[in-house]
Each structure stands twice: as structure tokens, then as C-alpha cells.
Amino acid sequence: MTLPLPEQLINRELGILEFQRRVLAQAEDEETPLLERLRFLCIVSSNMDEFFEVRVAGLKEQIKAGVATPSPDGLTPRQAYAEVERMAHELVAQQYQLFNQILLPALDERGIRFIRRTQWNEAQTAWIRDYFFRELMPVLTPIGLDPAHPFPRVLNKSLNFAVELKGKDAFGRNSGAAVVQAPRSLPRVIRLPQNIAGCEYGFVFLSSVLHAHVGELFAGMTVEGCYQFRVTRNSDLFVDDEETKNLRQALQGELPHRHFGAAVRLEVADNCSDTMADFLLAQFELDRSDLYQVQGPVNLVRLMQVPDWVERPELKFAPFTPSLPARIGKAANMFELIARGDLLLHHPFESFQPVIDFIEQAASDPQVVAIRQTVYRTGTDSQLMQALIRAAQSGKEVIVVVELLARFDEEANINWAARLEAVGAHVVYGVVGHKTHAKLALAVRREEGGLRRYAHLGTGNYHARTARLYTDFGLLTCDEAMTADVASLFTQITGLGKAGKLKRLWQSPFTLHSEVIAAIEREAAFAAAGRPAAIVAKMNALLEPRVIAALYAASQAGVKIDLIVRGVCALKPGIRGLSENIRVRSIVGRFLEHTRIFHFRNNGDERVYLSSADWMDRNFFRRIETSFPILNPKLRKRVIAEGLKPYLRDNVQAWEMQPDGSYRHRRKRNARAYCAQTELLALLTKGK
């Protein structure tokens, strides 16, 4: 298979930044409720933090190592970084302009005020001064910079203040500079009492309080300037696969270093002097291109809590209650339900509770003899993990595959692993070199006639909170071939031996890639023979070159291809002679689109697969993933009707990718608005 030429692909990092622009557009959209606009603004900041911690850090490491080999899109690390730096600065400037000129005034009009230091009245000034001495002063430690006090180690993404000073201290020292670190225990946004604020919701930034009173930390000296700053560091963890004997211990030793990795970005307030900015850049070994000077708080992420603090339902998305499938009643026996036929769940529109019930009933049912489950992200307070602990305590055979290297969830997963091991569960950490990303749970139950397996397979994590925020499908089944495949997969992970042939599942790193390409090539063969051929695929990202090559070839054979790719897509659609039959769209809305669905027309014998995997190199070759078929014809139609068709029809939250990699909002004037997520909420949920 001929791989795509560099000019036929989009760079991954630039594609990620294009996605952030689409998220920011949600914050710009006047039809989005006001407090949700603030939340989307914060989400962009959170996403950008991770982008710098991982993707930009990776580019910098390659540049430092002298890597000049271009990626498949033709850009060398240095060229990619130059484009990333340009786009990222534009995006951040756009973000703060929206924050200061649009969102803050709009919130102010509705009685939600962020009161600047220059606007404090006498009562506010007095209350804030008292708050500083009572709540802040006791926990602040100023560090003067001199030969005995070198520049302090600054935690990743922590809030700090660089202070320019004039005069001498009690020891006659005159270094001219100091650093004040704000402990993470301090709130970054402080709510004023209503009678002091003069409005229903009045807030001040921690940075404003410290700016106003920083002189109290340096008695007898004059503060010439006080500048908030924040450094972002490389947060990828390195664990040597060959040298490590105990992955959990190695990871526990590595986690603290995440806070002090190499600096990749410096954020400072707009009032920061050039002298201080250059001084800070030198301390972190950064260049001017790594400096982001912003008008406002250097950490907008910490405003994410504000919408939750403000009791103004009219400024938020309408609440909803996820429904339950009609087959599920109160106190339903999940094993009896599943035995009567496969059960499909569509989150967040349908409740995640049946999945919790499945595991909890497996833990308490005396007929269940064994439970196996994968854990990628599950949260720090998980009913599912508590159920597995109870199951192990009751003497059941419990095997949990905990992925310790789930980025930014490593600590939570280490803690769950330790708790599970303490009660006798068998905990394994997957296969070294391959993250276990598959979403699988298996219960083995003793019934009349012998042992019977029941399984849950999903596209999303076993995380009750994100199940209300992400769109995902889950399947509960006792199909013999499907559950036998799940059992085989667990045996592969926990034991040793060659991979056996699975009957139903496609699996990474063994068969998923080849099966996806074979399915695409079958559609191309049908089209070439004049038969019906079409592909509709929904995923988070599309990057793998050989899959893209197969899609290009299928397009040239006449296959109509619709791709719904939320994030980065390296494929270029709509290019004559290459991809004119391919359409790519991205849906960005209230819920994070997380479902992976692969639909092949297959000459009229439709095939629908759900998957934990995106079409990326890492998912195909460096992770343990599954893709599973929907065998029940009614459920297959339902996946198409709920998971694909509404998104192809959407003209409110849909963005269509252009041949050059840019995106155009598809919203049409004078056309009936159709929003897939809104329609699914109306179809499947109950208003609260």
C-alpha cells in the first residue's frame, strides 16, 4: 500500500490547535448559556495546559535532541514548533480578549462581578485586607533572591509572584527581587459577602489580593512591581521498560518529578516588565517565543468552579435526568435481563447506573465466582472499585487490570491498585509497552447447566462522572462467542502465551488495524464492482497513515465516506482525484463526543462495530484495544439512528473540514436548526 504524500496529510499538533479553536467558538457563541461560555473558556485553558505539557514538550525534546526527520505530514519538529507557537499565541490572545471584553461585562450585567483592584470601595478594601491577614498571610512564604536564596523550584502550573523591591532588609540585604509562591491550598477566586460585594455574586482574584498587600511581606522595603507568573513543564513520565522490575514502584518514584520537568511555557501578566520577563525566562531556560503575556489571571482553569458556585439556572445548560431502557425496572436482576438479550446503553442520555448495578450485583451474587475488569480512568471515589473490593473480600476471584500509565490519572490508579491488592484481588498492570485502553468487564456465574459468562464492553471509561459528560455506548451481553473472546483477552493480559484467534472481537495490537483496512478495502471492491458501498465512522482522532491511504483509495473507487472526527484529523477531504468522496465533520457541543463507531455498508449486509480505539498509530500498535460488533439487528439500527445519523444532519454544532485542514461552521441561515445532542436529549432523557 502506498502511503499518503506529506502534502496529503495534516500535522497532528496543528490539528489539535484547530480543535481548540472550535472549543473556543462555543465560548464565543451567544446562544451558549453565559456561565457555560465561561466554562468552555476554562476548558480551552485546561486543554492548552495538557497540549504544552505533552505535545509541545515532545517537540522541544526532539529539537533539543537534534531530530530533523519530518513527521508523515512533512514538517520537522522545528518547523512544527514554529507553527504551533504562532497559532498558540493567536489562540491565547483571542481567549483573553473574549474573557475581558465580552464575558466579564456580560456577567457583570447579570450580577456576577469579578471586582478589579482599582474598583474596590472602602468596605471591600477593608474586608479584603482582613481576609489577607486572616487567611493568606499565615501561609505565604516570601523568598528573597540572593546568593543564600537561589531562585526556588517552581511547581508545574503553580501560581507565583515575582516582586521587584527597593531598599534594604533587616540584615542589610538588597537583592532587588523576591518570589512569593501561592500554595495550592489557597483559592484562586474568593467570593465576597453579598453585602460587601454590592451584588448577588461578587468575586476577587487571589492575584488581586496579593498584589494589593504584597508589601506586608517585605516590611520596610518598597515594592516597585509585583507580577504573577506560571510555568508549564514537561509532564510525560519516563519508565524504562527494560530496567523496571515493579511498574507500580517505578511509577510512584517518577510521579513527583512531573512537577519539576523541563519548562516549556512561561505565562506572565501584562503588567510584567521586560526586565522581569527576561529574568524569569532565563531562570527557566526559555526563549521569548515561549512567553505568553496575558491580560488577566494566568490560570483561567481555576475559574472552572465559578459556574458551580453560582445558583443561576437560566445561565446554564438545562439539567436532565438520564433515562433507563424500558427493559430495566427498579431492583432489576441484571443477569436475568442480559440473559434475555443484549442490552445497549447510550450515555449520557441513558444512565450509567446499569453498569454499576452489573458490577455490584456480580460482587454480591453468591452464584458469581469470578469478576474481571479493566481500569483506565475511574475517578478517586468509584462505586465500581468499591464493589470490586467487596467482591474480593467475600472470596470471589477478582482480577483487575489497572493501567498505571493513564496520563494524569496515575496517582488515583496506583491508590486503587494498592487497595485492591490489600483485600486479595489479583491486580495486574497490563503488558509493558502497551497501555490497556480496552473497556471490558466480565462476570462468571454458576448456573444450571454450568458456568456462564456475562460481559460489559464499552467505548468509554468506567467513570460515573464522565458518563454524564461524554457520549459513549456500552453493551451488556452473554453471547457465548463474544464473552469467550473477552475471557481470552483477559488471559492474554494476565498470563503468557501467543494470542489466540478471536471470533467476534477485533483487537489491538494484533488484528484491529488489519481488520479495519480489510473492511475499507471490501467497500472499495464493492464500489469498483458497481455495488452499494459506504463507510460512516465516528471517532476522536484519525492519524494512522495506512488507514488514511486505504480511505483515499476507497474514495477514488467511488465509496461514499462520512467521517465524524471530534479532534485532530490528518486526512484531507474533498480533494479532486484523491478524496472527493470523503466528508469530514467535527461536532463540538455540551457533551464531549467520545463514541467510536465504525459502520460499513458491506453490499447491503451492514456491519457496525463499537470500539475503545481511535484510528491512531498508538491505538493500533501500542495499546490493548477492542472493537466489537453489534449483532442484534435492532440494536445495530439503533446505533446508526442515534450514534451516526443525527451527527450527519447536525447544522448547529457541526464543523466541516476543508481541503486545507481548516474548519467551517456548518450553521445555515434560513434552515431549520438541528442539533444532534439536543435532539438526543429530547429523545432519550427526562427534563428535570
Contacts of 501 (CB under 8 A, 6+ apart): none
CA distance 259 to 271: 27
Contacts of 642 (CB under 8 A, 6+ apart): 346, 680, 683, 684
Would you give the distance in Å from CA 242 to the centre of its chain?
29
Long-range contacts of 78-81 (CB under 8 A, 24+ apart): 80/11, 80/13, 80/14, 81/56
**C-beta separation of 567 from 23 below 8 A:** no
Closest listed residue to residue 378, CA positions, set 467, 317, 484: 467
The SS3 call for residue 10 is: coil
CA distance 127 to 119: 14
3-state helix, strand, coil in the chain (%, to 5): 40, 25, 35
Task: Please count the residues of the chain.
Answer: 688
Contacts of 29 (CB under 8 A, 6+ apart): 37
| Selected catalytic residue, list 211, 434, 437, 463 | 437
CA distance 457 to 490: 13
Would you give the distance in Å from CA 91 to the centre of its chain?
19
The SS3 call for residue 573 is: coil
**C-beta separation of 592 from 491 below 8 A:** no
Q: Which helix (H) or strand (E) holds 389?
A: helix 383-393
Contacts of 490 (CB under 8 A, 6+ apart): 372, 399, 401, 440, 442
**C-beta separation of 647 from 538 below 8 A:** yes
**Residues β-bridged to residue 471:** 593
CA distance 475 to 597: 13
**C-beta separation of 228 from 159 below 8 A:** yes
Which grid coordinates are listed for 405?
500509565
CA distance 511 to 164: 61
463 catalytic, yes or no? no
Which grid coordinates are listed for 38?
465561561
Which grid coordinates are listed for 22?
472550535
Tell how strand 450-458 and strand 470-477 pair up. Answer: antiparallel
Closest listed residue to residue 192, CA positions, set 174, 205, 207, 177: 205
**C-beta separation of 100 from 31 below 8 A:** no
**C-beta separation of 229 from 267 below 8 A:** yes
**C-beta separation of 265 from 56 below 8 A:** yes
**Number of Cβ within a 10 Å radius of residue 8:** 20
Sequence letter at residue 75: L
Q: Which helix (H) or strand (E) holds 684?
A: helix 676-684
Number of H helices, E strands in the chain: 22, 29
Closest listed residue to residue 162, CA positions, set 188, 187, 143: 143
Which grid coordinates are listed for 170?
533587616
Residues with a known catalytic role = 437
